[in-house]
Amino acid sequence: DAGVIQSPRHEVTEMGQEVTLRCKPISGHNSLFWYRQTMMRGLELLIYFNNNVPIDDSGMPEDRFSAKMPNASFSTLKIQPSEPRDSAVYFCASSLQGGHAGELFFGEGSRLTVL
């Protein structure tokens, strides 16, 4: 079975540019999570969706960040405009709500570098 698929795997962009990260969750999973990983702050939950509806976006740093889940098989995380401090690895994870609590299936992450 295919796992969580993220793209791009690596992205290098210049400050001020728009960045879009993409995620395809595991088929049948109805919860989707976006995490950010940095050396300084570790793993932080940015936002999560249940059944395509955003439930908790309190971790989204600021208005430059937005996330959407137009259907059960696709989600995007957008940063506009990007800044050097946004450089991080962004992980998408999915799970089955009502399944084993806390069992998240992670993608391989998107490493973002903003120059």
Partner 1 sequence: AQTVTQSQPEMSVQEAETVTLSCTYDTSENNYYLFWYKQPPSRQMILVIRQEAYKQQNATENRFSVNFQKAAKSFSLKISDSQLGDTAMYFCAFMNQGAQKLVFGQGTRLTINP
- First vs last Cα of the chain: how many Å apart? 36
Whole-number Å distance between alpha carbons of 26 and 8: 17
Window contacting partner 1 (CB under 8 A); options: 12-20, 62-70, 71-79, 95-103: 95-103
The answer to whether 3 and 102 have CB atoms below 8 angstroms apart is no
Q: Which of 60, 91, 112, 114 is the binder for partner 1 (CB under 8 A)?
A: 91
Whole-number Å distance between alpha carbons of 114 and 84: 5
95 interacts with partner 1 by CB under 8 A? yes
94 interacts with partner 1 by CB under 8 A? no
Contacting partner 1 within 3-32 (CB under 8 A): 3, 31
Partners of 7 in beta bridges: 22
The answer to whether 32 and 92 have CB atoms below 8 angstroms apart is yes
Q: CA Rg, the chain, in Å? A: 13
Contacting partner 1 within 35-54 (CB under 8 A): 42-43, 45, 48, 50
98 interacts with partner 1 by CB under 8 A? no
Could you list the residues that contact partner 1 (CB under 8 A)?
A: 3, 31, 33, 42-43, 45, 48, 50, 55-56, 89, 91, 93, 95, 97, 100-104, 106-109
